[in-house]
Chains A and B, each alone.
Chain A
Amino acid sequence: MSAKIDTALEVLQKQVNQPLVAALEVCARCGICTEACHYYQAEPVDEHMPSMRAEQLRQVYRSKYDWLGKLFPAWTNAWPLTEEKLAMLAEMAFTKCTLCARCTINCPMGVDTPLLMTAVRAMATATGNAPEILEMLADAAIEKGRDPSIYLDFYLDSIKEMEKELQELTGNPNARIPVQKKGAKKLYVALAGAHTILPAAAIFETVGEDWTLSIFEAANYGVFLGDASRAKAIARRIVDEAKALGVEEIVISECGHAYYAMRWVAPNWFGDEFTFRVTSLVEVIADYVQRGLLDLDPAANPEAITYHDSCNLGRKGGILEEPRLILRAVTTNFRELTPAKEEAYCCGGGAGLVANPDVVDLRMLAGKPKVDQVRRSGANIVVAACENCRLQLGDLSSHYGAGFGVTAIADLVVKAMRLPGAKQTVEASMTSSVNESETVERP
């Protein structure tokens, strides 16, 4: 047995707990998961059956942990892990599953296929079988936390520039984007770039929120790698920042996996250190809308608009009603996709696929059910509260010639606020959200 296989099995051993064993042991072979998977919907072949994917790891599990599998591997379909098998598992977990969990909620036994695929991703990452780009992005994020001085001056300069744009947008020459302000109530963690900072800043400024901006970005590529060490190091930057500033709440930008990781996973990593609430910007805006803090004109957004539920934010994160509450307040022609909410189809770009240039064809295929949904809805704008989804939806619109635009919730809110500079800002944001992750070809 090679050192690589030893390492992979050690990583598997560390992850063998009750939830994982349950997911490995309880499959009833009913096949209901099959129709639930967007890959299978797009291309009905055996390899896209979630149960078939899970079986690949089960074979390895049986050969190591099941006494019958050890003695009679042929009877139990137990297969020892080899380097070829490991490479196949890695490719499957990183490209043929977006960890969307639609199969899980449709499974009568609740088999957690994303948990199984995350275990495989961890094995693959520990043995050098993960996509290099995801490791690069995770390591760059960790580097930012290790030594913010390598970019802080540039960052603060760009925030000053953004502050001028905010002043134009709001018509308020005193509008500010406070960075790392001690004692602020809310710490807003955006994504890299102005498009997730400026609209949020305009909303915070308008309601008079006591907020400050993080110097870190919310994205956590360690989560996609299944690498708890890297994922924790990336989250650690924000936790330490929140502690140092004494904030009450961390508000995560419109980003599905970043919210899920910080809201539902990070508290388990940090225990008593985690003394603050975590919310999504979507929840915060919904609260402002409900409290009547924003003067909104839905006629500002008269287009046929629909909402795509990010799997991490909706099905896995529980934020289902808040986006709809907001969209009904800021649009006049909102319509649902079918199915939606818990049963929404993944866009096909989640779990790091949208950042992997080697899988463009596959994610275009996996996004086909989503494009069909949008077409049936008649919407010409798709709203998504997740950056990965927006990039993927923009590529899908271009690839399939579907002609829909893609935007974020906060952009539509700002537009409905009828701020003096809103029109240009939102139009620029929408243009940049579409067709921009990779050069995609029409079929």
Chain B
Amino acid sequence: MEALLFTQGLNVVFEALILAMLVLGLAVVMGLLNVLNIAHGEFIMIGAYAAYIVQRAGLPYWLAIPAAALVCGVIGLVVERCLIRPLHYEPFETLLATWGLGLLLRKCVELGFGRGYRSVEIPIGGSVSLFGESYPAYRLVLMVVAALVLASLFVWYRRAPTGARIRAMVGNPVLAEAVGIRTRELARNTFITGTALAGVAGVMVAPLTPVEPFMGLTFIVNSFFALVVGGMGTVAGLFAGATIIGGLQSVLSAAVSPTSAYLAMLLISILFLWQRPRGLFPRP
């Protein structure tokens, strides 16, 4: 019983960290720029395909990380220039536009790779014995990598003035230019960071899930739930949302069924949207 609890506890931490990684790109774009990138899941999907291609080519798996970041970053650059900037980063207009973009990206990938499922082999096989319980090594590695990425981003956000500059730019673009912020470049770079992070998250989850053109849909839904519950534009909100949604899903899926886990997530999100629409830790 204790062993089961221990494994289950690790699973909760794992789900929360992975979800935090998956949400990260969306949190950057939505929490900081007020742009809800509905195509976020498709950037994760493209990252997963990058992992698939790298693995098929017989290259070391870690190479997929820069590859996915590059591909998703470049697509993000084009999208920012041709879609987001012309729509002046308006929340509703960009929501509709990125919804269409998601369709387009799914169809493009379908054209290139077909509808079929692709599987990416787990790059680090085997399991590790922890206090007498064996746990998949790849999951442990993922947890460490996710924790490191999130922690370093957290430290950077708190220490570097960039976070405050982005907030300043979104709140008052005219004054931001006046104090010397190159607003066009800053907004573009923030958007690209979000899409590149989505690509990296895609590489991380690719071995754990079937890789197919529609895989992004589940990710965008979970990511959005996590943001709604946690609150936008804060690191605490990101962690809280990912822990609640990811943890809940993990526990309920194991204890009851995946369907009821999904239902519970929906109910919690509706409750939050209704009673506390800014989430647990919103930006002040």
A binds B: no
Q: State the A residues within 8 Å of B (CB).
A: none
Q: State the B residues within 8 Å of A (CB).
A: none
